Amino acid sequence: VLAWRRARPVREVLFFPSRPCCIEALLAEAAEPGAPARPCPCPLPSGDTALSRLVRRLLSARRSLDLCLFSFSCPQLARAVQLLHRRGVRVRLVTDAQYMGLHGSQIGRLRHAGIQVRHDQHSGYMHHKFAIVDRRMLITGSLNWTTQAIQSNRENVLVLEDAEYVKAFQDEFDRIWEEYNPANYRFF
């Protein structure tokens, strides 16, 4: 009989730029677990990269995904988030008011897909770049969710399954989520 063993908590650092990679297989497997893999015609390798690791961590969400992102224009990450939403994961997204309307922003598309989005009403930036998966795993760092950052910048992302850090960021998320509630908007 195998003893029940608690999985070791995730402690990971991802550095960018990420080598280019195809994440179609990851998304397909998440959309339809166990379905036969259809090879993607694109020429990119589907290896283990910083981007593929980040996507894997996100796709591990089963119940909730809380996102607090200064800018979000990477279509691949938007597809991963949309897929989780379709799978019934409760996605909440906080973003920056000045950046959400910029060219290439994925915020409109995610809202259109039915995902709840809130944004600040301040002149300061909502400059966080973190995600909390299932109120259990914190993903945070310097990385904005843009293709430029992923492919060209020097960036870091920490992934921690650590109750203390998760709680601090979950509390910050909940504070911001309430503060940016549209019911509290003031019109100047």
* Active-site residue, 162 included: no
123-182: which residues touch its own copies (CB under 8 A)?
123-130, 140-143, 148-149, 151-156, 158, 164-165, 168-169, 172, 176
* Min dist. Cβ of residue 61 to its own copies (A): 21
Q: What single letter denotes the amino acid at residue 39?
A: P
Distance of alpha carbon 160 from alpha carbon 158, whole angstroms? 6
Which of 57, 144, 72 shows the shortest CA–CA distance to 111? 72
72 in contact with its own copies (CB under 8 A): no
For the question of residue 129 being annotated catalytic, the response is yes
The catalytically annotated residue of 48, 122, 127, 167 is 127
Nearer to its own copies, 6 or 154 (CB): 154
Site string for its own copies, 82-121 (x = CB under 8 A): --------------------------------------x-
> Rounded to whole angstroms, how far apart are CA atoms 133 and 157?
14
Site for its own copies in 15-44 (CB under 8 A): 15, 17
* Residue 80 Cβ vs its own copies, minimum distance, rounded to whole Å: 21
Separation in Å, CA 52 to CA 20, 111, 115: 9, 24, 23
Q: Is 140 helix (H, G, I), strand (E, B) or coil?
A: strand
Q: Give the span between the Cα atoms of 20 and 23, in whole angstroms.
A: 10
**Nearest CB to its own copies, comparing residues 26 and 159:** 159
Residue 48 falls in the annotated catalytic set:
no
64 Cα distance to chain centroid: 11
Catalytic residue positions, numbered: 127, 129, 134
